[in-house]
Amino acid sequence: MKKFVSCTIILLFLFTTQIKTCAAEPVQLDLKSEGAVLLDSDTGAVLYAKNANEKMYPASLTKIATAIYAIEKGNLGGIVTVSKNAASQDGTRVYLNEGEQAPLQKLIQGMLINSGNDAAMAIAEHLDGTVDHFAENLNNYLKNNIGVNNTHFTNPNGLFDENHYTTAMDLAIITNYAIKNPVFAEIFGTKVLEWQGQSWASTLYTHHRMLKGELPYPEVTGGRRVIQMKQNKH
């Protein structure tokens, strides 16, 4: 019998076999991340924590929240029209053009797998009209539907804003909620996706080194800098 264990981190760290003992006795891990939480997905029990409730800037981990919000609120087959604002986002993109149209689910894939900031913005504007309305609705959703209280997001993609923050604990709770959705879980665990856009055709690969096998650990089934893994239940 398998069960899921979610691990949420703020910065990338190496997942070691020591984690398997952390439920039985306290362990000190040499993590590079500033904050980390390991949850038992079934019970919500905290198996390991480091600076779990310290407010931090989540960067593109924000997209986990954007994705589950979009999946639960939106029509996955609905067509999104990309605005000039979305197409001109900084950072990692899937190179959407102004006026380009794509199904909502495809944009969620581009956002989670390739960390597309443009896709995230297009999703937000499609769902709620403006970034401000999106942020207000997303924050209410996270608080009322998922139950986190130390998170405040101002945008859908995690580009820096001093008022855009969360905690490792809140991210663990958000991710644990999200992976129970089969659409999210499938996208979260996608390693390779053929992408056909108006201006860009490419093969998208997950950015997560453990998921794509650069740091082999077969129990990892999904992730960004958040890791979802399966563990044998004894």
Cite the active site residues.
60, 63, 115
DSSP class per residue in the chain: -EEEEEEEESS-----GGGGGTTTS------SSS-EEEEETTT--EEEEESTT--B--GGGHHHHHHHHHHHHS-TTSEEEPPHHHHT--SS---PPTT-EEEHHHHHHHHHHH--HHHHHHHHHHHHSSHHHHHHHHHHHIIIII---S-B-SSSS----TT-BB-HHHHHHHHHHHTTSHHHHHHHT--EEEEE-SS-EEEEE-S-TTTTTSS--TTEEEESSEEEEEEE--
